[in-house]
Structure 1
């Protein structure tokens, strides 16, 4: 199994509608991209995430599934939205 973690910071000037559209688009990837075993995204409520406001978790059967996800048009569209709506991201992928 492979886990894909993304932490991102929403721009201060982003509207509630832009953020909801981004989150909805990310959630849609679970059903749009083959190979996604599980996917969740949400806003941090702990206050311990530093500059990062949201986190994304996605799980795949193997590294090939992650690679398919990375190149899928639906994922690439979400990456564009992330670029327009966020100020920073950190990504970690690991196999277990």
Structure 2
């Protein structure tokens, strides 16, 4: 299994409507992309000093499935909403 993690920092001038568009798009990806085994995302709970506002965790059976996800039109469409409000991001993948 491959776990893909993305941490997002939003621009200071982002709007609740922009975040809602991102969340709606993320919620649609599990149905749109069958290679996704598990998909969770959410706002920072505020329990740490994290500089990030939002996290996305996706699990795939293989690196090939993760590559299909990355190139999928539905993922790219959501990515356009993310880029519009993103100030910074960090990501990583690991096998488990």
Tell me which interval the TM-score lies in, with the shorter structure as reference length.
over 0.9
Residue 95 of structure 2 is matched in structure 1 by 95
> Which residue in 2 is equivalent to 1:75?
75
Q: What are the superposed Cα offsets for residues 35-69 of structure 1, whole Å, 9 maximum, x if unpaired? A: 00110110001342522001000001111110000
2 CA distance for matches of 1:46 and 1:55? 12
TM-score by length of 2: 0.93
1:84 equivalent in structure 2: 84
The SS at the match of 2:5 is strand
Q: Runs in 1 of length 4+ with deviation above 3 angstroms?
A: none
- TM, length-normalised to structure 1: 0.93
Aligned residue in 1 for 2:61: 61
Aligned pairs for 1:1-96 (under 5 A) are: 1-96=1-96
The number of residues matched between the two structures is: 96
Unaligned segments of structure 2, at least 5 residues? none
What is the aligned-residue RMSD (CA, Å)? Answer: 1.1
- 1: distance between equivalents of 2:49 and 2:63? 27
